[in-house]
Structure 1
């Protein structure tokens, strides 16, 4: 049958439903309608979202207010700390010079060498450490340890090296290694006046001696430079830069004469070694001004190596160590006796070689038969017994008063660190034996400078001048300002001083105990001293203190020289081992100062009756 127009084969088979009775499939159940997703309330969802956003934004807003409002200054300051860097500009420390302007302590250009460990890679550490250890002359291990601190940005390798050495190190172009401008303290004389000058620490602060006493004046005032830097330390261009220039320290000029100081150190140092003494001191003073021209100690402190010296060798023994003066003290007893009018130089005394004082028997240094000595002879021969006899004519109170007038029991007044006043017991507390022993210098304690000051007083016609060590200072404009003159105090009359000088001149004669101090062509006056030495090591008297002190020319005194030796093992009399030191130092000082002999001859002095 022909197809209808447009029909295709199979169209009807797909649309017809054939129902067959009995044996066909059951019909499909109707399809289940799809489930419907119910949407929440949009207003509720939006509300919760807005609340969450509001809470988060409020936290950010609060934090923002805290940072930019409440804590803004704190964080600004912290940022400035990280960005703004301040660098100290060290001031040049002033010089210490001798009386003629020769530098004893000066400041030299130096460089600090440092490293930034964070910039040195682990592979380069060994090479960098090897080079630095070789150039700096230090062990390699400490440098390696500093380089290993990789989180650090600064480690000092050397505080103050020579600029040429720093330049050589910089020539290696080692990453992280740098240098800064610094100063270093130098002492050209090494141990010359070492304990007097003192020393400075690694930070340039005075730690001892005059370096400590005049630290503020010498140090000046450090300056500062402030710049802004980035995270790696590079300077940020076009940012602020503030510079406060340093103020250089002022100079201190001493009364010390470099050449005389050298001679005194050499003489006392050699004698300490020759006699096996524990220590020694030598002082040279100008009789008219009280100025100290030399203050030497042995052993002396090497200022280039002071850190390795024992503490005992870092102090100025001339002003810190106290000792019993012995017979050098007899000039004070003589002054008290003459000033009282109870004794004259020609007064005669019957002098045995021993005398009983309370519960003790006191003796002269050498046994001798009983003899008739003048008071001048007692001083010249240094008789303990004769001195005690003279003291009995004046009494304890007058002797004590004279000791005070000569400066015993008070500091000399130089202002030097550690200056001691010595020991002068009140006369009312003197024991029976002290009434005798103090007359010849046992039972009181003094320093070397105090003893030298006593003889300066006699040499200066009875007028004590406060000892001076500093001649003056320079101001910021470089102008020199001299120190005020030492205070002058009349201690004894001019006649008394002249009479004692004549006695002391006899003590240096052939009949006196100090003949080894005589100097050809010059008139010399002086006194020996040999005292038992109190020592804490033996908790009593053990060993000796040997002293000689005098002045020249005797008739026109210009210089006082003192030499003292503590606990000598080869000899112990002052006339034997201290007088030669006096002679060497005085001879040099007279020549150095171009002080000519007076050309006069000493007046004859009667030592014994019948002469």
Structure 2
């Protein structure tokens, strides 16, 4: 039996115990540094590794001459690693960032609380100016970092905003071409993996893996910046002057269907789109529908002339009212019976004369011409939310529909559809599909032209020429729009003053008016079409009074801007009254 007083034996036992413990440590070290070292090293790197998307540069949108409408600039994204943010610093960080970026502080605090050990990335603020981002970095908050991204800016403010649209905070387009062409403009994001220290700083010589983003393509528009500005300024002023609910102006080149200007009022600033009314964020030119009224009479005229044997000099006896079945139709003003030529019917915009001319064709023929001019179908322009309007098939025309449709009621159109009708006449009867995109550009600015727009012949060239002469009569002192005359130029066009249906009663009484003028110049060599539409003007409502002056203003500017001279020819005399020579 070992003696408790034997120190050598006790020392040997102690040494054996120490050796045993040391062998356990040594074995563990061998396991960690040898057998399992690779796995632990990978786990350590993974813990330090930060992976995030690298956004692509969004392609620009430019005017026809290359000036920027929408462009992308450098910005910073403020992000946090909730796992790294000390719990006692959350309130302090929120108090600093909240006022700076107009963010709710309680929301920031909530984002800084980790949901799990892997909750290492949360975005706090987008589109931060680089200088402001440097201020955040200087605050040296643990777990708060910045990384590059891009910010969309619109140098012209609200100029052509209804066409361009806007980009939401999530980086996707929310309206206009930014929305409909989002995938192409946005490009394809890449990603980057970097090692960060526990303070959130990048580790030199650490792992760095990148997948470069693919830049988005740009869009070159057909819009002329100066003419767009003039159209937008003119319609905004007239909406205010007349107390109208809204208004729009379209300028088109009838030869190629290119939209030179497309303006609406009220508009919005894409940089602060969230402050605008929802109704102002779209493009009324392609989205809003209305009964065209008298501007649609040219379609009836084309049908009557080509299928009904009517000519500009065909006489009609025109009273101020006419009964068909159980409905009595009226002209806009009372008058004794008149003997008008068909040219006079169009010049004076007589509903009754138009009805009589329409009776020379069948409902099916009238419908066929309306479809050929583009009623009841989308134009195919690249803007989102385009409406096809409403043109019921002939099988659904009841009772007196054929008569009201003949002068522009019981059918609805968009402003762009109406502009296209007159562009077709101006182009000798050939319809060219309206288009607003001239082509696309790559990241080096190289332009790839867009495909040529679709074309189709709608009416004979001779019919288009006769209609043009008749439309010139509208702008004479005997017509409804002498206010559309432009000194030195021959102008052809048509007024429209259409009653709007009162949504409360379903009747035309009390619904207000759609006031329109659409025309082209020079009439004998058309190069530009301008349409002006005002919805519910309160101070005057006849198209010749409130819309024609805007047409004159915009068309005069556009002709001068494009250096289009007068042709020097004289307008032919239009016989208005059948008994006058």
TM-score > 0.5 by shorter chain: yes
Work out which of the residue numbers 407, 425, 430 in structure 2 matches 1:458: 425
CA shift, 1:346, in A, is 0.8
- Could you tell me how far apart the structure 2 residues matched to 1:556 and 1:237 are? 70
Aligned equivalent of 1:113 = 78
What per-residue deviation string (whole Å, max 9, x for no partner) do you get for residues 436-480 of structure 1?
111110111110000000000000000000000100001355421
Check whether the contact 2:143–2:199 (CA below 8 A) recurs between aligned residues.
no
Work out which of the residue numbers 567, 571, 578 in structure 2 matches 1:598: 567
Check whether the contact 1:193–1:296 (CA below 8 A) recurs between aligned residues.
yes
Mark the CA change 1:80 to 1:344 in structure 2 (over 3 Å): closer, same or farther.
Answer: same
Alignment pair present for 1:99 and 2:68: no
Mark the CA change 1:121 to 1:230 in structure 2 (over 3 Å): closer, same or farther.
Answer: closer
CA shift, 1:569, in A, is 1.7
Tell me how many residue pairs correspond in the alignment: 541
- Could you tell me how far apart the structure 2 residues matched to 1:308 and 1:182 are? 24
Aligned equivalent of 1:274 = 241
For 1:37-52, list aligned pairs within 5 A. Answer: none
Work out which of the residue numbers 525, 543, 559 in structure 2 matches 1:574: 543
For 1:353-502, list aligned pairs within 5 A. Answer: 353-475=320-442, 478-502=445-469
- Could you tell me how far apart the structure 1 residues matched to 2:196 and 2:281 are? 45
Aligned equivalent of 1:325 = 292
- Could you tell me how far apart the structure 2 residues matched to 1:97 and 1:439 are? 41
CA shift, 1:275, in A, is 1.6
Work out which of the residue numbers 482, 499, 508 in structure 2 matches 1:515: 482
Alignment pair present for 1:312 and 2:279: yes
CA shift, 1:538, in A, is 4.4
Alignment pair present for 1:562 and 2:509: no
Larger radius of gyration: 1
- Could you tell me how far apart the structure 2 residues matched to 1:414 and 1:147 are? 43
Alignment pair present for 1:193 and 2:160: yes
Aligned equivalent of 1:145 = 109
CA shift, 1:579, in A, is 0.9
Moved more, 586-595 or 555-564: 586-595
Aligned equivalent of 2:52 = 87
Check whether the contact 1:455–1:550 (CA below 8 A) recurs between aligned residues.
yes
For 1:211-222, list aligned pairs within 5 A. Answer: 211-222=178-189
- Could you tell me how far apart the structure 2 residues matched to 1:479 and 1:144 are? 44
Mark the CA change 1:141 to 1:477 in structure 2 (over 3 Å): closer, same or farther.
Answer: closer
CA shift, 1:539, in A, is 3.8
What per-residue deviation string (whole Å, max 9, x for no partner) do you get for residues 189-233 of structure 1?
221111221111112112221011111111111121223456665
What per-residue deviation string (whole Å, max 9, x for no partner) do you get for residues 374-422 of structure 1?
1101000101111111111122221111111101111112132111111
Aligned-partner SS, 1:305: helix
Aligned equivalent of 2:580 = 610
- Could you tell me how far apart the structure 2 residues matched to 1:272 and 1:546 are? 11
CA shift, 1:129, in A, is 5.0
CA shift, 1:184, in A, is 0.7
Consecutive unaligned residues in structure 2, runs of 5 or more: 1-30
CA shift, 1:431, in A, is 2.3
Mark the CA change 1:312 to 1:182 in structure 2 (over 3 Å): closer, same or farther.
Answer: same
Mark the CA change 1:482 to 1:537 in structure 2 (over 3 Å): closer, same or farther.
Answer: farther
Check whether the contact 2:250–2:531 (CA below 8 A) recurs between aligned residues.
yes
Mark the CA change 1:378 to 1:85 in structure 2 (over 3 Å): closer, same or farther.
Answer: same
Mark the CA change 1:147 to 1:459 in structure 2 (over 3 Å): closer, same or farther.
Answer: closer
Mark the CA change 1:234 to 1:605 in structure 2 (over 3 Å): closer, same or farther.
Answer: closer
- Could you tell me how far apart the structure 2 residues matched to 1:297 and 1:575 are? 20
CA shift, 1:122, in A, is 7.0
Mark the CA change 1:82 to 1:573 in structure 2 (over 3 Å): closer, same or farther.
Answer: same
- Could you tell me how far apart the structure 2 residues matched to 1:519 and 1:264 are? 17
Aligned equivalent of 2:558 = 589
Check whether the contact 2:430–2:456 (CA below 8 A) recurs between aligned residues.
yes
- Could you tell me how far apart the structure 2 residues matched to 1:492 and 1:139 are? 60
Aligned equivalent of 2:16 = none
Mark the CA change 1:229 to 1:105 in structure 2 (over 3 Å): closer, same or farther.
Answer: same
- Could you tell me how far apart the structure 2 residues matched to 1:455 and 1:368 are? 29
Moved more, 210-219 or 424-433: 424-433
Aligned-partner SS, 2:303: helix
- Could you tell me how far apart the structure 2 residues matched to 1:369 and 1:596 are? 42
For 1:53-68, list aligned pairs within 5 A. Answer: none
CA shift, 1:99, in A, is 0.6
What per-residue deviation string (whole Å, max 9, x for no partner) do you get for residues 126-147 of structure 1?
665555456x253674487359
Aligned equivalent of 2:494 = 527
Aligned equivalent of 2:503 = 536
Check whether the contact 1:342–1:394 (CA below 8 A) recurs between aligned residues.
no
For 1:170-189, list aligned pairs within 5 A. Answer: 170-189=137-156
What per-residue deviation string (whole Å, max 9, x for no partner) do you get for residues 85-116 of structure 1?
32221111000001111111110111123455
For 1:279-290, list aligned pairs within 5 A. Answer: 279-290=246-257
Alignment pair present for 1:262 and 2:229: yes
CA shift, 1:594, in A, is 1.1
CA shift, 1:607, in A, is 0.6
Check whether the contact 2:259–2:435 (CA below 8 A) recurs between aligned residues.
yes
Mark the CA change 1:209 to 1:139 in structure 2 (over 3 Å): closer, same or farther.
Answer: closer
Alignment pair present for 1:298 and 2:262: no
Check whether the contact 1:321–1:420 (CA below 8 A) recurs between aligned residues.
yes
Alignment pair present for 1:504 and 2:471: yes
Alignment pair present for 1:546 and 2:515: yes
Work out which of the residue numbers 137, 146, 163 in structure 1 matches 2:130: 163
Alignment pair present for 1:338 and 2:338: no
